[in-house]
Amino acid sequence: MRRDGADAGWSLVVPLKPLVRAKSRLSRAAGEALRPQLALAFALDTVSAALACEDVLDVAVVTDDPVAGERLAALGARVVADVPARGLNAALAYGAGRVRQRRAGAAVAALNADLPALRPAELGRVLSAAAAFPRAFLADAAEIGTTLLCAAPGVELAPAFGGPSRARHRESGAHEIVLPDTESVRRDVDTGEDLRAALALGVGRHTARCVPRIRDRTAAEGVRAPGA
């Protein structure tokens, strides 16, 4: 993050469901007790890495979860209530609007909250590439969804996340960013297999703390643990 106080750089908007509902597809791998903790750990590692990126000025997290909000605010994120309460894309559009109420000339990017292996330098490379276009996006590792959508100052974000959002964002006129060595920005985690892939890249400290507990649970149940 810029330390010189200059009004330059990207404002990121990170959406996060209430933890009780987050990452439901990870129930089999993590168990119901650990799943919300894992969702929070993903968000903490994502936001920590984003705030450490030199191209990022600030991060706004759109969430109604009080526990997550408190933890993420402690990292330095600004927490915004999900006032629309109409799903992911409405939350992102609202968050982008709140950012621009405070900084009208902000370049805004929507970033998934489930990127536990995120590297600040890789995020910076993607944001630098995105700066050449009015709107740009990065596809996820499966090349179906989207992990990052960027909009230049004065340009509407127009998010279309969920399901095959790569195709929707491309059809909306956003430029698709294709860069080598940006796997950590593309590796979102929805399933146990996704988590294994993220662990292979190397996850942040919050997610790493959850993994031994997942392994203990799955060992007791005779299930293959992520990273095993």
Report pLDDT digits (tens) over 108-161. Answer: 999 999 999 999 999 999 999 999 999 999 999 999 999 999 999 999 999 999
3-state secondary structure 157-174: CCCCCCCCHHHHHHHCCC
Q: What is the pLDDT of residues 157-215, one digit of tens each?
A: 999 999 999 999 999 999 999 999 999 999 999 999 999 999 999 999 999 999 887 76
* pLDDT reading at 223 higher than 50: no
Short-list 198, 215, 10, CA closest to 103 = 10
Taking the C-alpha atoms of residue 119 and residue 122, their distance in angstroms, rounded to an integer, is 5
Residue 14 vs residue 27, higher pLDDT: 14
User: Which pLDDT belongs to residue 136?
Assistant: 98
Residues 119, 52 contacting (CB under 8 angstroms):
no
pLDDT of residue 222: 45
Q: pLDDT tens for residues 35-92?
A: 999 999 999 999 999 999 999 999 999 999 999 999 999 999 999 999 999 999 999 9
Is the predicted pLDDT of residue 32 greater than 90, yes or no? no
Residue pLDDT, tens place only, 82-101 = 999 999 999 999 999 999 99
Q: Which residues pair with 148 in a beta bridge?
A: 111, 138
Look up the pTM and report it. 0.91
| Cβ(140)–Cβ(146) below 8 Å | yes
* Residue 219's pLDDT band (cuts 50, 70, 90): very low
